[in-house]
Amino acid sequence: MDWHAPTWGSEGVTKFIDLTLNGISTGAVYAAVALALVLIWRATRIVNFAQGAMFMFTTFIASAVIDSGGSYWLGFAVALACGFVLGALVERIVIRRVEGGPPLNAVIVALGLLILLEAIAGMIWGNTPRSFPPAFSIRGYEIGGTRVLFAPNDTFTVLVVIGTALALRALFQRTKLGLQMRAAAFQPEVARMLGVRVGRMLTLGWALAALVGSLAGVLIAPSVFVGPNQFDPLLVFGFTAAIIGGLDRPEGAAVGGVLLGLVLSYVSGYEGASLVTLAALVLLVVVLMIRPGGLFSSTRERQV
Amino acid sequence: MRLPSRIRPPRLTLARSLGFVLLAAVVLALVSEALSSYNDLQLANGAYYFAVLAGLTLLTGLSGQISLGHGALMAVGAYTVALLIGNEHWPVLPALIAAVLTSAVVGVLVGAAATRLRGPYLAGVTLAFAVGLPALAGKYPSTFGGANGLVINPPTSPSWLGQSFPLERWEAWIACAGALVVLFAIYNLVHSAVGRSLQAVRDDEIAASLCGLRVARLQTLAFVVSAACAGLAGGLLTLVLQLAAPGAFTLGLSLALLTGVVLGGLGSILGAIWGAALLVLLPIWSNDIAHAFSFSTNVTNNLPLAIYGLVLILAMLLWPSGLQGALGLLGLRVSTSLKNRASTRYPVGGAGQERAAARRGGASPPQGREEEEVR
């Protein structure tokens, strides 16, 4: 086997640092997607496979706004607003009818939405991926004469994701609205008895999740381009990250996302990009064999 | 959702089910004679889809485990057949048996891991499996042919069928034979002690293990059987297309299989037949519809997908228990109205009675209904 140990000269160190930094910035985006999935799972016990298509759609809208002369920040804001509305609409019109039913039916409906939204995007904007501008420069910082693989835009990505995670945490832990949302998700009957508008809370949960998802879409779009199927791998990795962390734990989504981002970055840097999906599988299996409910699970494993 | 045992059709004995399968074989052979070579090819496609869907019916319907990774298990069978026939020049039958065995071995590994996992966690691992495994073809291009895959020679029909026997019909025969073997095996397994044990495990693991059932072993067994079916289906796919390439075993295939088994009707073998028919016909029909109008290219290219997605959503909203469930409900409705017409002594039942009958009859109404009424 012709496997070379990574050389630990100055070049090796630079490469390692580059891969680490790159892993952190892509991991932050995986974490955002995972966060969106976790929010919906906690609210309605549905794995939202349509998430990928939903933020694909909002990113396309942002791209259209920017192309027609709007500023980047206008596109950014429009994408988030559209994500919020789209999430609420999807829950209210379609998902409400399969909530509480057989779990597979909800999965199929979500898959149907995924396919439908991708098709509609293809009809409107065509199937050829188009470029998307970054918020800030994508030229790496220069440290001691060498340029590292981490740019102001990556700083922006990481900060936005951290900020979003903290804001969500504050919403759920510190506000009355957050408490109502948690109550609606965990004990719908009791919550309803106590006057919580459960249906409205679930809609709000979906809207917030879709907003977080659309954020992830706008953040990753400069590096993967915008196209109807362009975000499918992102959904797979986001789901993987959510599972690694434990679907019930938002902090698990964050840690799972960064862990997955780092591992995939190292594998793709040292062993080649073709093995990335296989590495995700191995990482997932290893984590779940040790902790079947994810890293942050508090529930006991399934009895065998 | 599933028919309770007391109103199941009387179960066929081994010999009778064998007779039924032979009869079906004769009917399929006659049908394939009547079809054009294009339709024979569709029949072959439907046959291998049925093989994998029947296995999924056992896994998801009977044992209650979700798999998003059966496309990858099909790939295992497909590459086994392609390697054995293409490189080693094996005959068709031993190559297919090898495909079944190889995918069953992979199924043991995945299934053993699966017994520790529940719902979305199992879905996640099998999803990663579906996405990850085809990457091996790119990693070892000298063995697996990279992105172009492996090409084999078309199977040759035996000489007693004559020189002019069309290739597509022979492919349809092979695929249908495989599908019938799966039908026979799954039918008898479902109606055996193992099948009942699997249902017991699905409904209540703790109660089942109290009764002395080995839960983990049974669940692994279900996974292995469904993996073997998927392997056979993959092998048949290679024979029909004469190609095993990573492009055929995308995540899309795995997801299509899941939709096929749910849309057809979870947990019933007839449902697997409907599901296979849908997987073959829906793309063709939606394509025809899209090209019947003169839209712009973007719209025409994406309309089939849009129709497919819309059908998935609407089907789940209208018939939560799948086509088979909807047909069962329809049958009940017809028989109830006939009964009502026949006997005037009883008042006409109306919707309430139908629903009660449907509930007894297993074509389950949407489970969220009670909650919705409260809401």
Q: Percentage of chain A surpassing pLDDT 70?
A: 94
Across residues B78-90, what is the average pLDDT? 91
Dihedral sign for Cα atoms in the order B190, B192, B197, B200? positive
B335 and B219 share one domain = no
Structural domains counted in chain B: 2
Structural domain of B188: 11-250
Q: Which residues of B touch A109 (CB under 8 A)?
A: 312-313, 316-317
Asked if the model's pLDDT at residue B75 lies above 90, the reply is: yes
B131 and B217 share one domain = yes
B346 and B242 share one domain = no
Helices (H), B167-296: 167-190, 193-203, 205-210, 215-241, 251-264, 269-292
Q: Does B247 touch chain A if contact means CB atoms closer than 8 Å? A: no
- CB contact under 8 Å between A124 and B135, yes or no, is no
Residue B186: C-alpha distances to residues B47, B244, B246 (Å): 15, 26, 28
* Chain segment A92-124, per-residue pLDDT in tens: 999 988 887 788 888 889 999 999 999 999 999
B246 and B330 share one domain = no
Phi, psi (5° rounding) for residue B244? -125, 110
Report chain B's C-alpha Rg in angstroms.
22
- CB contact under 8 Å between B259 and A284, yes or no, is no
Residue B216 lies in a domain: yes
B244 and B361 share one domain = no
Asked if the model's pLDDT at residue A154 lies above 60, the reply is: yes
List all residues 6 or more positions away from A114 whose beta carbon is below 8 Å from its beta carbon: A49, A50, A52, A53, B309
SS3 A28: helix
B184 and B331 share one domain = no
Across residues A128-143, what is the average pLDDT? 84
| Residues found in chain B | 375
B227 and B104 share one domain = yes
Taking CA atoms, what residue in B is nearest to A302? Answer: B116
Confidence at residue B369, expressed as pLDDT on a 0 to 100 scale? 37
B334 and B188 share one domain = no
- CB contact under 8 Å between A109 and B312, yes or no, is yes
Across residues B7-25, what is the average pLDDT? 76
Taking CA atoms, what residue in B is nearest to A49? Answer: B255
Q: Which residues of B touch A42 (CB under 8 A)?
A: none
Asked if the model's pLDDT at residue B165 lies above 50, the reply is: yes
**Mutation choice for B interface testing from A278, A295, A296 by most B CBs within 10 A:** A278
Kindly list the structural domains of chain A, giving each domain's residue range(s) and its CATH number in brackets, ordered by start.
15-285 (1.10.3470)
Confidence at residue B343, expressed as pLDDT on a 0 to 100 scale? 59
Q: Does B115 touch chain A if contact means CB atoms closer than 8 Å? A: yes
Residue B349 lies in a domain: yes
B240 and B91 share one domain = yes
List all residues 6 or more positions away from A20 whose beta carbon is below 8 Å from its beta carbon: A262, A265
User: Which of B121, B139, B367 is the closest to A101 by Cβ?
Assistant: B367
**Mutation choice for B interface testing from A287, A302, A303 by most B CBs within 10 A:** A302
Residue B272 lies in a domain: no
Across residues B204-215, what is the average pLDDT? 88
Q: In this structure, what DSSP letter does residue A147 have?
A: E
Asked if the model's pLDDT at residue A83 lies above 60, the reply is: yes
Across residues A221-228, what is the average pLDDT? 88
Last-in-domain residue among B231, B250, B269:
B250
Last-in-domain residue among B200, B229, B250:
B250
Residue B312 lies in a domain: no
Q: What is the biggest distance separating any 2 CA atoms in chain A, rounded to whole angstroms?
A: 66
Residue B5 lies in a domain: no
* Lowest-pLDDT choice from A2-11, A59-68, A184-193: A2-11
Q: Which residues of A touch B125 (CB under 8 A)?
A: 243, 281, 284-285, 288
Of residues B200 and A301, more confidently modeled = B200
B241 and B341 share one domain = no
Confidence at residue A74, expressed as pLDDT on a 0 to 100 scale? 94
Q: Which two structure tokens, joined as six digits, stand for B308?
A: 């497919």
Q: Helices B269-292 and B322-342 meet at what angle, rounded to 10?
A: 100
B225 and B344 share one domain = no
Confidence at residue B3, expressed as pLDDT on a 0 to 100 scale? 53
Q: Which two structure tokens, joined as six digits, stand for B83?
A: 């390697």
- CB contact under 8 Å between B118 and A97, yes or no, is no
B241 and B362 share one domain = no
Residue B268 lies in a domain: no
CA B334 from centroid of its chain's CA atoms:
28
- Quick one: pLDDT band at residue A8, thresholds 50, 70, 90? low
Residue B183 lies in a domain: yes
Q: Which residues of A touch B375 (CB under 8 A)?
A: 192, 198-199
Q: Which residues of A touch B308 (CB under 8 A)?
A: 112, 115, 119
Residue B351 lies in a domain: yes
Across residues A201-222, what is the average pLDDT? 92
Q: Letter for the amino acid at A73? A: W
Q: Which residues pair with B226 in a beta bridge?
A: none
Report chain A's C-alpha Rg in angstroms.
20
Asked if the model's pLDDT at residue A85 lies above 90, the reply is: yes
Confidence at residue B2, expressed as pLDDT on a 0 to 100 scale? 56
- In angstroms, the CA B37 to CA B31 distance is 12
User: Which of A109, A199, A285 is the closest to B113 by Cβ?
Assistant: A285
**Cβ–Cβ contacts within 10 Å for residue A166, how many?**
10
Residue A161: C-alpha distances to residues A33, A131, A157, B178 (Å): 10, 22, 6, 51
What is the number of CB-based contacts under 8 A between chain A and chain B?
183
Last-in-domain residue among B250, B276, B309:
B250
* Chain segment A27-55, per-residue pLDDT in tens: 999 999 999 999 898 888 888 999 999 99
Element (H, E) at B296: none
Asked if the model's pLDDT at residue B372 lies above 90, the reply is: no
| Contact of B96 with B178, CB cutoff 8 Å | yes
Q: Does B60 touch chain A if contact means CB atoms closer than 8 Å? A: yes
- CB contact under 8 Å between B263 and A108, yes or no, is yes
Asked if the model's pLDDT at residue B373 lies above 50, the reply is: no
Arithmetic mean of pLDDT over chain B: 83
Q: Does B322 touch chain A if contact means CB atoms closer than 8 Å? A: no
**Mutation choice for B interface testing from A274, A275, A283, A295 by most B CBs within 10 A:** A274
* Chain segment B281-339, per-residue pLDDT in tens: 988 888 888 888 888 888 888 888 888 889 889 988 888 888 888 888 888 888 888 87
pTM here is: 0.83
- In chain B, the DSSP E strands lie at 150-151, 243-244
**Mutation choice for A interface testing from B302, B314, B323, B374 by most A CBs within 10 A:** B302
- CB contact under 8 Å between A285 and B255, yes or no, is no
